[in-house]
Amino acid sequence: MKMLVVGSGGREHALVWKIAQSPRVKKIYCAPGSAGIARQAECVDISVGDIPSLARFAAKESIDLTVVGPEAPLAAGIVDEFRKSGIPIFGPDRRAAEIESSKSFAKGLMRVNSIPTAAYWVFDEYNQLESFLKGTKYPVVLKADGLAAGKGVAICGDRDQAMALGHAMMTEKVFGEAGRRVVVEEFMTGQEVSIIALVAGDAVAVLEPSQDHKQANDGDEGPNTGGMGAYSPVPAVTEPVWQRIERDIIIPTVHGMNREERPYFGALYFGLMLTPAGPQVLEYNCRFGDPETQPLMMRLETDLVDLLEASLKGTLGDSALSWHDGASICVVLASGGYPGSYKKGLPITGIEEADEMEDVVVFHAGTTKSDDQWRTAGGRVVGVTARGSGIADARDRAYEAVKKIAFEGMRYRTDIGAKALI
Ligand code: AMP
Ligand code: GLY
């Protein structure tokens, strides 16, 4: 088979790495890919936003299956475009992708289907938001309705902060059109967990739980980032919690999408909070998680290509997933200054040495290579991912590998997976 992966980050590297292990795959392309991804795939210089060129490339090369990493091309209708031309692609169409690209659609879906989530209010006019904020209890969570690259959400501790942010979103348009409508949510507490399901209409294959670490600093302090590390499985998801998630959240979401006449095909990500009242949905994403995909692909034993193909053929429901015993963990090494501004082009040492360790893979998120020298090229630079007999073992191994890598200003969290060991 010939495969095409769309994207260039750590998540796409993990997908490419896993796909490359399938004996059925003869050739993998990645658009645009990266120097790290180039070890397993031929990189094609087409950006993720250039949907017509991606479709032309897939048609010309007779790609058997395309997998899309990031949300933006899905929200922009890449799946609709490929389907129009009869090119096989794994992902939701534009209307189904609204489960991520419109928070008000997602909240409405949850309300109609009684899916547990925080209470919420939707505002299209700033003066209505302002009068609501004058009368509500704090903290509250403010969310831009549309896609804002993970930056459109803030927990506001008081009225002044909430009003300033609401004004910035709705009047000053700091997130452009994405912030024209604002969703206010009740504040929830608890551990967060990520569940990714492969979905094809009614059929669902749920991957094992994982946990992201969104804040920049140890102890969940500091600003939100794209994710500083992840591990799987998550001991906080006990068997009864798992059953509730499946019965009260996953199944009603999938059925709800069918009833909306937006049947879901592709990876569906449930960002959950395990609150004292049970698991509640924080958000949906219309794609695989980043960095959750890195530890998940290291643990998944089943051939990913078989699963993706079963989704397209309508046989996903028969799929049995098998996993390597133990656990896996990914520690993200970020540029100094991330998620704010940071330098690029700094030389990196030790990547090969870390990669050579047993059961360790360095997934590249933002690197370049020239004259045999790796250099930084993004906020999140690499995700050092290790598998072990359990979380403690995987963690020791990952941090041992991290010690081999260095670049100026390199920073990372030292407590990835720590919650699982309490
Ligand atoms: P979202 O993009 O909607 O997942 O929000 C990003 C992050 O903000 C989440 O991962 C949570 O850490 C936090 N968050 C979002 N909604 C809430 C909420 N209702 N209560 C508490 N924290 C929240
Ligand atoms: N890890 C969070 C996300 O993929 O959105």
What string of H, E and C letters represents the secondary structure of 114-170? CCCECCEEEECCHHHHHHHHHHCCCCEEEEECCCCCCCCEEEECCHHHHHHHHHHHH
Contacts of 37 (CB under 8 A, 6+ apart): 5, 8, 12, 13, 16, 30, 43, 364
Q: Band of the pLDDT at 137, cuts 50, 70, 90? A: very high
Q: Where are the beta strands (DSSP E) in 202-277?
A: 203-206, 211-212, 215-217, 221-224, 229-232, 265-275
Q: How confident is the model at residue 153 (pLDDT cuts 50, 70, 90)?
A: confident
Could you tell me if 176 and 205 lie in one domain?
no
Does the beta carbon of 100 lie inside 6 Å of ligand 1?
A: no
Atom of ligand 1 nearest to the CA of 188: 20
| Final residue in a domain of this structure, among 160, 186, 212 | 186
pLDDT tens digits, one per residue of 378-398: 999 999 999 999 999 999 999
User: Does residue 148 sit within a domain?
Assistant: yes
The pLDDT confidence band at residue 150, using thresholds 50, 70 and 90, is: low
Question: Which pLDDT band holds residue 18 (cuts at 50, 70, 90)?
Answer: very high
User: 141, 147, 272, 275: which to mutate for ligand 1, most atoms within 8 A of CB?
Assistant: 141
Considering the domain architecture, whether residues 271 and 387 belong to the same structural domain is answered as: no
108 part of a folded domain: no
331 in the same domain as 303: no
**What CATH number does the domain containing 416 carry?**
3.90.600.10
Could you report the per-residue pLDDT of 245-302, keeping only the tens digit for each? 999 999 999 999 999 999 999 999 999 999 999 999 999 999 999 999 999 999 999 9
Provide the CATH number for the domain around residue 165: 3.30.1490.20
Domain boundary among 262, 286, 318: 318
> Is 155 within 8 Å of 185 (Cβ atoms)?
no
Judge whether residue 210 has pLDDT over 90: yes
- Structure-token pair, residue 228: 């500083």
Residue 318 has pLDDT above 80, yes or no: no
393 part of a folded domain: yes
Instruction: Evaluate: CB of 118 within 6 angstroms of ligand 1.
Output: yes
The partner residues of 89 in beta bridges, in order of sequence, read 66
- 34: tokens are 């990266």
Q: 179: CA distance to ligand 1 center in Å?
A: 16
> pLDDT tier at 154 (50, 70, 90 boundaries)?
confident
Instruction: Check whether residue 287 and residue 343 sit in a common domain.
Output: no
pLDDT for 149 equals 72
Q: How many residues does the chain have?
A: 422
Q: Would residue 101 count as lying in a domain? A: no
- Pair 375, 261 in one domain: no
- Within a domain: 294: yes
Numbers of helices and strands, H then E, in the chain:
14, 22
111 falls within a domain: no
Residues 230 and 311 occupy one common structural domain: yes
Q: With a cut of 70, say whether residue 196 has pLDDT above it.
A: yes
Range scoring the smallest mean pLDDT among 108-117, 163-172, 342-351 = 163-172
Do both 171 and 138 map to the same domain? yes
Residues 82 and 172 in one domain: no
- Ligand 2 close to Cβ of residue 290 (< 6 A): yes
Q: Specify whether 371 is located in the same domain as 403.
A: yes
End of a domain among 91, 109, 144?
91
Q: Could you read off the pLDDT of 159-191 as tens digits, one per residue?
A: 999 999 989 898 888 787 787 889 899 999 999
If one counts the domains in the chain, the total is: 4
Residue 388 lies in a domain: yes
Question: Based on the domain organization, do 281 and 202 belong to the same domain?
Answer: yes
Q: Is residue 77 part of a domain?
A: yes
Determine the distance from the C-alpha atom of residue 188 to the mean position of all C-alpha atoms in its chain, rounded to a whole number: 21
What CATH number did the domain enclosing 65 receive? 3.40.50.20
> What is the average per-residue pLDDT within 310-334?
92
Residues 211 and 280 in one domain: yes
User: Tell me, what's the pLDDT at 34?
Assistant: 97
Distance 185 CA to ligand 1 centre (A): 9
Looking at the structure, do residues 243 and 310 belong to the same domain, yes or no?
yes
The CATH number for 293's domain is 3.30.470.20
The 3-state DSSP class for residue 178 equals helix
Range of the domain at 163: 119-186
Mean pLDDT of 314-341: 93
